[in-house]
Amino acid sequence: MGDVHTYRVRRWAVLTVFAVLAVVLILRAYDLQLVDKEFLQDHGNARFLRVVEVPAHRGVIMDRNHEPLAISTPVSSVWAVPRKLNQARHRWSALAKLLEMKPAQIEKLVEHRLNREFIYLRRHVEPGLAEKIMALKIPGVALERESRRYYPAAEVTSHVVGFTNVDDVGQEGLELSFNDLLRGTPGAKRVIKDGYGRIVENVESISAPNSGKDLVLSIDRRIQYLAYRELKSAVQKHKARGGSIVILEARTGEILAMVNQPSYNPNNRSGLKSDFYRNRAVTDSFEPGSTMKPFTVAAGLENGAYKPTTKIDTRPGYFKIGRHTVRDARDYGLIDVATVIRKSSNVGASKIALSLDPEEMWGLYRKLGFGQVPGAGFPGEVAGRLNDHREWGEIEQATMSFGYGLSTTSLQLAHAYQVLATDGLQLPLRIQHSSEVPRGKRIISAEHARQIRSMLASVVEEGTGKLAQTPGYSVAGKTGTVHKSATGGYAEDRYLALFAGIAPTTSPQLVVVVMIDEPSTDEYYGGQVAAPIFSRVMSDALRLLNVLPDQAEQHLTAVQQSPTVPGVE
């Protein structure tokens, strides 16, 4: 029986041990399942659950006819987890070959970033190559979908539209100034990823992506193109340093075209100097020269002291203000105000200016937009220079009347001429297309604006701007040949050739400013260099816009027809 007793003790001992073990297990299970649950679950999830970004589309930039000017296309970027890639060294040569890199370059990329989770191997690869890379199935290498901006009109619209960087952030032009509108907000979602970093399952959406808004510009791609073509060929022909053309729609103040030389291709910017990126039409100011005279005359007419027929004595072709002499090309004699414009007389303009109060003249110039940032929506718009009238002396007032001593950009000059085109009403400059026409602000009286337009028409008919004549249409415009300022004075042999004009004179549709910087062949007058460009751009643009020729009787053969003509609306 002693045996039985011994066994009983042993049995209890064993059972107790088991019981204790069981309790320990239960306690451990309780611990894991209930006490440490959150911590453990988090860590478990962290092994395979990931929050990834859902990319949002960047808005399209279109011209007024909804032709795309900037559009995003999807591309893939190859990225890797350095630690995993490091363990797959034997596959590097194959990978490097596809990426067009040397294995040593991969080594360099990976080496210093071993504790990082993410490195880009190459960004923006084409879809075919991306597929080949993924087919290698190298651990830690994965693709990310990104988008790349493409600009179909390339260098024709590059200064206006600008471009984005590799991260889809606007860098220049409207891509920069409208970045917040164009940019979408990316969403986020939770996914399950496998060991290769590939998405196995989408679990839930955290936030939905918001696509960027589209931007419809006032630019007309066709007119932009023809302006670009004419500007480029003229700059080449005259071996000029650069140039700009700005075209405004007179009725609405919308910018129809804005081109510059030199330009660049935004789709391939490697090896370009930032000098090329400048949108000269808004960032570069120059002295407007004779193109300023219509506004001097406007100040005279507004004052009431002058009428288009008022006689001004410009004899003997020059006159002295202190130590300075204002000169005309020759002695025009006793001429009326209209002839001052037609002949572009500096003496005449100066005499009108000097009879006016500086504040009055300054006020009109300022209202016309000189010396003020135009605010059309481009980055880097400059105000130009217009000194305060209290700083004007007689000589300043005289030289300003023919466009020296103040400066303007091509866009500002076009804006000022737009006032003449709309019978004295100023419309805000706009780059975004809108069907609403804003209310104009009266700057000069309608009668005076029309009188100045007819003076400007005579410039083109029989004055310095004959080469600006456009078959079928009446044109009003003014030439300008400006000595460029150099250190300590004005350069004798460096010029700016200008032409600013409006057509048709009777019911203005377009305002065009042509600026050619330093034409270096024999021709350098605004009337020789800029006026012919104006004529070609204007005639093509008016035809494109279906503007009825108003001078058909003179230049075209008009035919009277019965009211119903098939095919003609």
Partner 1 sequence: MRMTIMTLLLMVFVSALLVVDSRHQSRKIFVELQVLEKKRDAMHEEWGRLQLEQGTWATPSRIEEMASNKLEMISPQANTIKLVRY
CA 512 to chain centre: 18
Stretch that binds partner 1, among 60-68, 233-241, 294-302, 380-388 (CB under 8 A): 60-68
Stretch that binds partner 1, among 166-174, 199-207, 275-283, 395-403 (CB under 8 A): 199-207
Asked if residue 256 lies in contact with residue 218, where contact means CB atoms within 8 angstroms, the answer is yes
**Judged by CB under 8 A, does residue 556 bind partner 1?**
yes
Rounded CA separation 160/376 (Å):
11
Instruction: Output the CA–CA distances (angstroms, integers) from residue 256 to 10, 127, 247, 251, 429, in the order listed.
Output: 103, 37, 5, 12, 11
What is the token pair recorded at 281? 């039409």
Dump strand ranges (E) for 227-297. 242-249, 255-261
Minimum CB–partner distance for residue 71 and partner 1 (Å): 5
- 555 touching partner 1, by CB under 8 A: yes
Q: Which residue, 309 or 561, has its beta carbon nearer to partner 1?
A: 561
Task: Kindly tell me which of 131 and 357 has the beta carbon lying closer to partner 1.
Answer: 131
| Residues in 131-150 at the binding interface with partner 1, rule: CB under 8 A | 150
Contact, 530 vs 212, CB < 8 A? no
Q: Which is nearer to partner 1, 152 or 380 (CB)?
A: 152
Residue 73 interacting with partner 1 (CB under 8 A):
yes
Closest C-alpha among 213, 267, 269, 57 to residue 147 = 57
Residue 192 within binding range of partner 1, rule CB under 8 A: no
- From 268, 435, 546, 562, residue interacting with partner 1 (rule: CB under 8 A): 562
Strands 441-442 and 187-193: unpaired
Detail the DSSP E strand segments found in 314-369: 318-321, 324-327, 334-336
Q: What is the rounded CA–CA span in Å between residue 378 and residue 283?
A: 9
Under the binding rule (CB under 8 A), the answer on residue 71 touching partner 1 is yes
Nearer to partner 1, 224 or 346 (CB): 224
Find, among 235, 236, 385, 237, the residue nearest to 245 by Cα.
Answer: 235
Q: Which is nearer to partner 1, 155 or 396 (CB)?
A: 155
Measured in residues, the chain has a length of 569
Residue 485: helix, strand or coil by DSSP? Answer: strand
CB of residue 55 vs partner 1: minimum separation in angstroms? 9
Burial 342-380 (b: 16+ CB within 10 A, else e): bbbbbbbbbbbbbebebeebbebbebbbbbbebebbbbe
206 scored as a contact of partner 1 (CB under 8 A): no
Decide if residue 560 touches partner 1 (CB under 8 A): yes
Window of 27-35, 314-322, 436-444, 549-557 that interacts with partner 1 by CB under 8 A: 549-557
Catalytic residue among 177, 244, 285, 290: 290
Please report whether residue 558 would count as binding partner 1 according to CB under 8 A.
Answer: yes
User: Could you tell me the smallest distance in angstroms from the CB atom of residue 279 to partner 1?
Assistant: 21
Q: Using alpha carbons only, how large is the chain's radius of gyration in Å?
A: 36
- Residues between 459 and 498 that touch partner 1 (CB under 8 A): 471-472
Q: List the one residue out of 189, 60, 72 whose CA is nearest residue 124.
A: 72
**In the numeric block, which tokens belong to residue 541?**
């643009």
Which range in 69-77, 81-89, 98-106, 458-466 contacts partner 1 by CB under 8 A? 69-77
Q: Binding mask 207-246 vs partner 1 (x if CB under 8 A, - otherwise)? A: --------------xx--xx--x-----------------
**By CB under 8 A, residue 152 contacts partner 1:** yes
Q: What residue ranges in 116-209 does DSSP mark as E strands?
A: 119-125, 141-150, 187-193, 199-207
| Residue 224 in tokens | 């932009």
Nearer to partner 1, 488 or 563 (CB): 563
Q: Is 153 in the site for partner 1 (CB under 8 A)?
A: yes
Does residue 57 bind partner 1 (CB under 8 A)? yes
552 sits near partner 1 (criterion: CB under 8 A) = yes
Count interface residues toward partner 1 (CB under 8 A): 37
Which residues contact residue 39 at a Cβ distance below 8 angstroms, ignoring those fewer than 6 apart? none
**Can residue 546 be called a binding residue for partner 1 (CB under 8 A)?**
no
List the one residue from 59, 72, 282, 295 that touches partner 1 (CB under 8 A): 72
Q: Which amino acid is at 472?
A: G
Of 134-142, 342-350, 476-484, 556-564, the window that binds partner 1 (rule: CB under 8 A) is 556-564
Spatial CB neighbours of 534, under 8 Å, sequence gap ≥ 6:
468, 475, 477, 499, 501, 512, 514
Pick from 414, 535, 396, 545: which is nearest to 471 by CA?
535
Q: Do 254 and 248 meet the contact criterion of CB atoms below 8 Å apart?
A: yes
- The nearer residue to partner 1, 464 or 469, going by C-beta atoms, is 469
Work out whether 438 is an interface residue with partner 1 (CB under 8 A).
no
Q: Which is nearer to partner 1, 487 or 562 (CB)?
A: 562
Q: Which is nearer to partner 1, 175 or 302 (CB)?
A: 175
Give 68 or 363: the residue with its C-beta nearer to partner 1.
68
- Residue 407 designated active-site: no
CA distance linking residue 568 with residue 539, whole number of Å? 21
Residue 52 binds partner 1, judged by CB under 8 A:
no
| Residue 496: C-alpha distances to residues 188, 428, 446, 514 (Å) | 55, 27, 31, 10
Distance of closest approach, residue 545 Cβ to partner 1, in angstroms:
14
- Position among 49, 176, 203, 373 found at the interface with partner 1 (CB under 8 A): 203
Question: Site residues (CB under 8 A) for partner 1?
Answer: 57, 60, 67-68, 71-74, 150, 152-153, 201-205, 221-222, 225-226, 229, 471-472, 549, 552, 555-565, 568
Catalytic site positions = 290
